[in-house]
Structure 1
Amino acid sequence: MSDKINQIQASYHPSEDRILLKIKTLNEQVYLAWITRRFMQLLIPVLHGQHPTSRKSLFDDKKSQLQQLDTEKTQLVGDYESEYKVPESPDYPLGEAPILLAKITFKDIYSDKAQLVFEPEKGQGIILPFHADLLGPLIKIFSQALHSADWALDLDPILEVPQETRLQ
């Protein structure tokens, strides 16, 4: 992604039985992607800093705890009620049809410039920064879409958004 993210929306589409992810940047680039139930089951633990299959922490315990605290604080901030605003002259770097996400990979996972990459089976995917400023809002946005999807995933404890942030 060549610019900062301006808006993200995830909405469940019953006819597709998929969640449509829309990401818009400040320079009006729009990225569209379908998220399946299987992909979401892998993605949610990743957003919490866990390996998607083993559920082991991707970071050392101290860093993981600090990241979780940052994520919780970030989840409490943001506008989750405004409608997605379609840009006047959108640019679709991946095409106007949504790509079907199939893989999650990381780049520079243990650096300050860690990236999370959502990819289709073939072709270009979506590269996002892997830090609390984005992970918290993604958790909140996906939890709202999952509620509509009613996929009965066994992820309830990690999808909960904290009611308040406690700092010690």
Structure 2
Amino acid sequence: MTIIEPDMSDKINQIQASYHPAEDRILLNIKTLNEQVYLAWITRRFMKIFIPVLHGQHPTSGQSLFDEKKAQLAQIEKQQTQLLGDFESEYQKPENPNYPLGESPILLAKITFKDIYSDQAQLILEPEKGQGIILPYHADLLGPLIKIFAQALDSAEWALELDPILEVPQETTRLQ
């Protein structure tokens, strides 16, 4: 497995998701500060499972992956992160890119978790065979991913019936 960790040398710098009509897929492009580039295709089927996972929900049952209070706090963090992100800047291609998974995108097929109930929770995105991507599973990354995928899904016009969970809050809310 190739690991993307938020340490100093491999911190995620930019994430882009763009719909490609000829492929009928979304291309996920992750670039780190040290110019490593990870490319992955996301199909309609995979996205339908992936979006609830980004919201802390089990993809088939819809049940929370966390206890209720932790889930509410995580939702607030995601909302705040979505509001703070820079979603207008153009993706900047690295001058000397390194492609740990290869220059051709992998086709994502599986989602698993590691240490989901700890502060070091990880989201593992894998193809059927070969190396995948391990991302930290926390609001600092999940909020921007939700916003980025919402924009790509608008272009895709896949009608996944996920509108309520894709909505970006207009303002942050607080727990009483």
Classify the TM-score, shorter chain.
over 0.9
Q: Secondary structure at the match of 1:11?
A: strand
Q: Who is 2:24 aligned against?
A: 17
What is the rounded CA distance, in whole Å, between the counterparts of 1:49 and 1:166 in structure 2? 18
1:66 to 57, 67, 73: 73
Q: Which amino acid aligns with 1:72?
A: Q
Aligned length: 168
Q: Secondary structure at the match of 1:76?
A: helix
Residue 78 of structure 1 deviates from its aligned partner by 1.1
Q: Which amino acid aligns with 2:161?
A: D
Where structure 1 has 5 or more consecutive residues not aligned to the other structure, the ranges are: none
1:95 to 102, 107, 110: 102
Q: Who is 1:114 aligned against?
A: 121
2:140 to 129, 133, 136: 133
Show the 5 A alignment for 1:6-85. Answer: 6-85=13-92
What is the RMSD computed on CA atoms of the aligned residues?
0.7
Task: Name the TM-score, length of structure 1 as normaliser.
Answer: 0.98
What is the rounded CA distance, in whole Å, between the counterparts of 1:51 and 1:74 in structure 2? 22
What is the rounded CA distance, in whole Å, between the counterparts of 1:141 and 1:148 in structure 2? 11
What is the rounded CA distance, in whole Å, between the counterparts of 2:137 and 2:151 in structure 1? 20
What is the rounded CA distance, in whole Å, between the counterparts of 1:105 and 1:5 in structure 2? 20
Task: Name the TM-score, length of structure 2 as normaliser.
Answer: 0.94
Q: Secondary structure at the match of 1:140?
A: helix
Please list every run of at least 4 consecutive aligned residues from structure 1 whose deviation after the TM superposition is greater than 3 angstroms. Answer: none
What is the rounded CA distance, in whole Å, between the counterparts of 1:43 and 1:159 in structure 2? 12
Q: Secondary structure at the match of 1:66?
A: helix
Residue 166 of structure 1 deviates from its aligned partner by 2.2
The share of aligned pairs that are identical, in percent, is 80
Per-residue CA deviation, residues 18-73 of structure 1 (Å, 9 max, x unaligned), is: 00000000110000000000000000000000001111000000000010011111
1:158 to 155, 159, 165: 165
